[in-house]
A and B are shown apart, each in its own frame.
Chain A
């Protein structure tokens, strides 16, 4: 499969990672060989099998509905704050 530069650009937008024109070119080439390598699994025709979400089957792990307040300062790791709020970039 040929990986176009526009594909790389689209993915970089989806992933919210700004990349330079040079990087787009480089990644397009690399992605092509990596995705070719990934496509090896197409050789396996047997698909009538449950996907393995984890390597071992683990199930029914949950917690009971008990509330406990976590004591901390949620803002201690950021400078983007105002009063008791986190501060974020505008939407539009």
Chain B
């Protein structure tokens, strides 16, 4: 059965005769089935609240990554330490979706607080890749990508990325993942991993879907000090624009150490771009190798302070009040955090300790500046950067288990540089290796979402031919 596209569905939902109750029942039933099969959810919302006004997303099922607060619906960020936590407010992006008539159908699985690349560090459920259940979905927005691919109903996912958590699972599942410029979408209501890096974005089946949802969730929010004061934009307007004459840069460093076949598929993609009139040129970004350590230092330093608040007093997991506060907190955090969270909190504490702080934390902030400058130079000549999203295709669970922590961090080598610089990026499928999808990564200059979306849209159309 052909699944209706979001675009088709929204036309239908406008009609007065649309059977909402029947539709909802089918969606919930479907979610439960998908959950049994692939486990993308932490929470399924049985009775989504229905907005009275049918705005731009009438009755469109929307899933929300579980680190984004939903009023009255359990929000855990994938961590045991937040088990049972019911937020007293909606995240701004959720508010926006509800205002436009969207339906929040569930909270999707993720690595605990976003700490992971495969969505295997989740206390609740570990999503399986619908293409091959022995394989991971990628992470940390694994549940979002999994559901997007598996859903037999129209749906778009609100996901979130710190260092590639949207691009990676999109690449592994053959979906479209859009991460906007830092500050374009309000972070109010997002449970922080690393505040100077976190971005809320979307995963959809096709480029149109992510452009549509971005138009709803992007925009200034006075509740977030880092929200950018920019006018509301309809990003779907860019899609049909001509791409002839645009120039993209192909950075040499982004193909080093990448699976040969993956490189090949991406180059196939670049040829398609050429076919639709986009010029390309190879460039060098020599600072690329410093992005990963710089990113992890900043991310862990910030994360270790963000996670300090979880101590079993005011919300989430709590134990019997025993001992003094040091003993009590240490015990709650021992029980409530998973291994990767402990590792990152401890490393993050280390890199900001007196004596190490300047060499690690402060230096990393400076390196970030240099990397941003290097990107800015490229964008003074090019409209976008094109590269593989991930150096590998979706791995098997058993292979992931064998990896040492530092090897896992290395997997983010391609997604991290643009994310460290807060650049908008989109991962779109560009082919298959051993029947597993390969993602092509389009990276734009700050606030050039329109440009990368239209390249992606035109590419998608050509690629599907």
Which A residues form the contact surface with B (CB < 8 A)?
Answer: 7-8, 11-19, 23, 27, 30-31, 33-35, 37-44, 46-47, 49-56, 58, 61-63, 72, 74, 76-80, 86-92
Contacts and interface: CB of A to CB of B under 8 A. Distances in A.
Nearest to B345: A15
Interface of B: 84-86, 88, 181-183, 196-197, 222, 225-228, 287, 289-290, 292-294, 296-297, 304, 308, 311-316, 318, 321-331, 333-334, 337, 342-343, 345-347, 349-351, 353, 359-360, 362-370, 372, 404-406, 409, 420-423, 446
B370 A72 contact: no
A54 B196 contact: yes
Contacts of A40: 289-290, 293
Contacts of B372: 52, 55
27 contacts: A12-B346, A13-B330, A16-B333, A18-B331, A30-B406, A35-B350, A37-B292, A37-B406, A41-B364, A44-B366, A44-B367, A49-B370, A52-B369, A56-B181, A56-B446, A58-B226, A61-B226, A76-B88, A77-B86, A79-B318, A87-B321, A89-B322, A89-B328, A89-B329, A90-B323, A90-B324, A90-B325
Of A39, A74, A89, chain B has the most CB atoms within 10 Å of the CB of A89
Contacts of A18: 330-331, 333-334
B360 A38 contact: yes
Of A17, A43, A62, A92, chain B has the most CB atoms within 10 Å of the CB of A17
A51 B326 CA distance: 34
Contact of B323 (A23, A76, A86, A89): A89
Given A12-B346, A51-B362, A78-B315, 9 more contacts: A14-B353, A16-B308, A31-B347, A41-B363, A49-B366, A58-B183, A61-B226, A80-B312, A89-B324
Contacts of B330: 13, 16-18
Nearest to B226: A58
A45 to B, nearest CB: 11
